[in-house]
Amino acid sequence: MVRRCAMKILSVVGLLGVLLLVWPVPLHAQATTATSLGVAYRGHIQDYGNLPADNGVITDGGLLGTTGQGKRIEGLTVALTGAAAATADYSIRYNVHIENEGWQATTDDPLSWKKDGDFAGSQGKSQRLEAIQLQLTDAAGQPVADYAVEYRVHIQDDGWSQGWQKDGAIAGTAGESKRLEAIQIRIVPKFTGNLDPAIFKASNHHLGQTQFKPENVTVNDGQLAITIPAGTMASGEISTIDQKSYGSYEISMKLPNAPSSITGFFLYAPPDYAQEIDIEIYNQPDGKIMFTSYANGAQTQSLTKDLDFDPTADFHHYRIDYKPDFIDFYVDDLHLTRFSEGIPHKPMYLMVNAWFPNWLAKRPAPQTQLLLIDWIRH
């Protein structure tokens, strides 16, 4: 199948501490690590009241609310966790659209929103939340440069159809009388400055029809960019310095529109075909996605599926859950397949690249194309 070598990636969002709170008293974060930044939240749900019970909280992407029960979220509180929240003096701000009342604050003025554990919404009025915005800000009230807040909502009749929103975008509806039934919130790190050589490296080698060059890997505006220069089949690739083992690996990326090339997000250990777990996507609007595993020098599993979206048009999330007994693959939180046999068991490097394999037509990109990466989590 397809082979390659180095890839990029990284990003760890910190894990949070335990929060105790009394509803609707503001949440107070407890740091766990010096570099962590996480999020904790709880809500007031139709017929259930305050959830989680016993002053508990949902953390880092967990689901608050219900699906399939027709229950509305009526209010919520959100707070940051981890040392970075205090040391960097960050705040999380949020604005909600309430049935019969509209927005609690101006949508384009985050400084007017609720923040850091304030209660947003209503209790005892049977009023649904219909939409929400969230934004991270620094001590000066400006958007932070090194983290983003992502959130998605389950909407009456529409489900999770809107996907993940971030950094002030509106999730939900206004004027359609549709309730928010569930919400997930998470903090993700942005790429800032240059690649940290202690964490990962840019590749300089040849693969298929592609020469990977370090100068084709750059960081700008909070994103990592891998460039395919116009008229060439050159590109870039990144690999972690340290090898990785079992865990969850996820990336948010927008693919280049460069037919005859593919983008890879994968775990790999040399030599070729020894140990590898791949997600590979054709870099074209009608792209297909390939899932592959290798162990002990042989391909053990392979599956190709059609995507129901254009991977070159916007950012989408791709995830590998690597366990001792199985590998699960997800796209935009939708489980697409599981491999239960032929699982590799040795440490591997986490990598990302865009390249032109020998088994596709030789067609250089007519215009410069970018593989854009918002974040990588593991």
Q: What is the pLDDT of residue 130?
A: 99
Q: What is the pLDDT of residue 15?
A: 29
Q: What is the mean pLDDT of residues 179-195?
A: 92
pLDDT classification of 191: cutoffs 50, 70, 90:
confident
Q: What is the pLDDT of residue 312?
A: 98
Asked if the model's pLDDT at residue 1 lies above 90, the reply is: no
The conformation of residue 199, written as its DSSP 8-state character, comes to: T
pLDDT classification of 86: cutoffs 50, 70, 90:
confident
Q: What is the pLDDT of residue 242?
A: 95
Q: And the tokens for 113?
A: 């929103």
Residue 369, beta-bridge partner list: 228
CATH 2.60.120.200 in the chain is located at: 200-377
- Reported as a single tens digit per residue, the pLDDT across 248-302 is 999 999 999 999 999 999 999 988 878 999 999 999 999 899 999 999 989 999 9
| Angstrom distance (rounded) from CA 181 to CA 130 | 9
| Angstrom distance (rounded) from CA 97 to CA 56 | 25
| Angstrom distance (rounded) from CA 41 to CA 34 | 21
Q: What is the pLDDT of residue 253?
A: 97
| Angstrom distance (rounded) from CA 224 to CA 263 | 14
| Angstrom distance (rounded) from CA 182 to CA 163 | 13
Q: What is the pLDDT of residue 76?
A: 99
CATH of 200-377 given 3.30.565.10, 3.60.40.10, 2.40.30.110, 2.60.120.200: 2.60.120.200
Angle (CA) 217-221-226 rounded to 5° is 20
pLDDT classification of 196: cutoffs 50, 70, 90:
confident
Q: What is the pLDDT of residue 83?
A: 85
What is the pLDDT of the chain when averaged over all its residues?
A: 90
Q: What is the pLDDT of residue 3?
A: 44
Q: Is the pTM of this model over 0.75?
A: yes
- Reported as a single tens digit per residue, the pLDDT across 108-123 is 999 999 999 999 999 9
| Angstrom distance (rounded) from CA 128 to CA 326 | 40
